[in-house]
Amino acid sequence: MLKVMLTSTFIASVAAIIAPTVQANTTLFESRDVLTPQQALGRFQWLEKCYPGLLVEVSDNIFDPTTPIPNEEKIANLKKVMLYKNSALRNDAKYLTFGDEDNANPKNWFAGISPTTSCLQIPSDYRISAVMVTPAMPNYCETRSRERDYEHIKSVKFSNLDNTSSNTFYSNYVGDTAKIYADKSYQLTLTPGFSGAETYPETWHVFIDWNQDGDFKDSKEMLFAGVSEQALQVEITPPTGAKKGMTKMRVTMDYLGGSNDACKEVDSGEVEDYLLYVK
Q: What's the average pLDDT block by block, 10 residues per block, for the chain (279 residues)?
A: 45 46 39 79 97 94 84 95 93 89 82 94 90 82 94 95 91 80 96 96 98 95 97 96 91 97 96 91
Which residue, 107, 98, 95, is CA-closest to 127? 98
Would you state the pLDDT for residue 277?
87
Would you state the pLDDT for residue 3?
42
Which residue, 151, 150, 258, is CA-closest to 204? 258
Would you state the pLDDT for residue 175?
62
Would you state the pLDDT for residue 32?
63
Compute the distance between CA of residue 204 and CA of residue 266 in angstroms, rounded to an integer: 10
Would you state the pLDDT for residue 114?
94
Please count the other Cβ atoms lying within 10 Å of the Cβ belonging to residue 152.
23
Compute the distance between CA of residue 29 and CA of residue 105 in angstroms, rounded to an integer: 10
Domain spanning 145-278, CATH class: mainly beta
Compute the distance between CA of residue 256 and CA of residue 270 in angstroms, rounded to an integer: 12
Residue extents of the structural domains in the chain? 8-133, 145-278
What does the CA dihedral 186, 191, 192, 197 come to, rounded to 10 degrees?
Answer: 160
Give one DSSP letter per residue of the chain, joined into a string. Answer: -PPPP--HHHHHHHHHHH-TTSPPPP---SSS----HHHHHHHHHHHHHH-HHHHHHHHHHHH--SS---HHHHHHHHHHHHHEETTEE-TT-EEEEEE-TTS--TT-----SSTTS--PPPPTT-EEEEEEE------PPP--EEE-SSEEEEEEEETTEEEE----SEEEEEEEEEEE-TT--EEEEEEEEESSS----EEEEEEE-TT-SS-S-STT-EEEEEEESS-EEEEE-PPTTPPPEEEEEEEEEETT---S-TTSPEEEEEEEEEEEEE-
Residue 108 region by backbone torsions, left for phi larger than 0, else alpha for psi between -120 and 50, else beta: left
Would you state the pLDDT for residue 112?
94
Would you state the pLDDT for residue 202?
98
User: pLDDT tens digit string along 17-48?
Assistant: 444 433 333 344 444 677 888 989 999 999 99
Please tell me the pTM assigned to this model: 0.67
